[in-house]
Structure 1
């Protein structure tokens, strides 16, 4: 809840895409730090990732359905079902921690946050609605 309140305050002054970039970059850095630095400080940093997550999902959702026109409803459904990753990634991380170490297993969420960063910086293209892309090639 704290993360959502902070996010709401931020969105009135800062571009949502910039907030996503900063949060994803911070999450990559934190989870990579945890992977190489076991200890109490890593545990506290993981709590901070929860704050970052609470802001990231709504931003990803709103950016992903932006300018989709008549495809917005279908895309919304796919995004809701994509939340399945939230159930499968922890299982994969558990298997990785059993095969290696708990700290090394945090490289998996770091890679996932890296993909979110890639979406925010490169894959998100707000300039054309989907209908124009389909008709103009």
Structure 2
């Protein structure tokens, strides 16, 4: 599944593909590290405070999603027409 997600994630980004691919690879690292961080916070305080970690992560993803139109215009992301079927 990862090759498909990776290919679709960088499709049509032109020169920004390198930056996008680094974010995709960092997402893998987040899936490996952030559960341990959440567990450490939950052990230190309590489980409800442990959920602050994924909440912050989802907040960052939402912020990036809302800012994407502005970011893509600023960096000159290209759009690719797929009306030809290929």
Name the Cα RMSD after superposition. 2.6
The reply to whether residue 95 of structure 1 matches residue 40 of structure 2 is yes
Counterpart in the other structure of 1:18: none
Distance change in 2, residues 1:119/1:101 (3 Å): same
- Equivalence map 1:44-59=2 (5 Å): none
What TM-score, normalized to structure 1?
0.41
Which runs of 5 or more residues in structure 2 are unaligned?
A: 79-86
What TM-score, normalized to structure 2?
0.61
Q: Which one has a larger percent helix, Structure 1 or Structure 2?
A: 1
Counterpart in the other structure of 2:22: 78
Separation in 2, partners of 1:109, 1:68: 28
Aligned residue pairs total: 68
- CA drift of 1:81 comes to 1.8
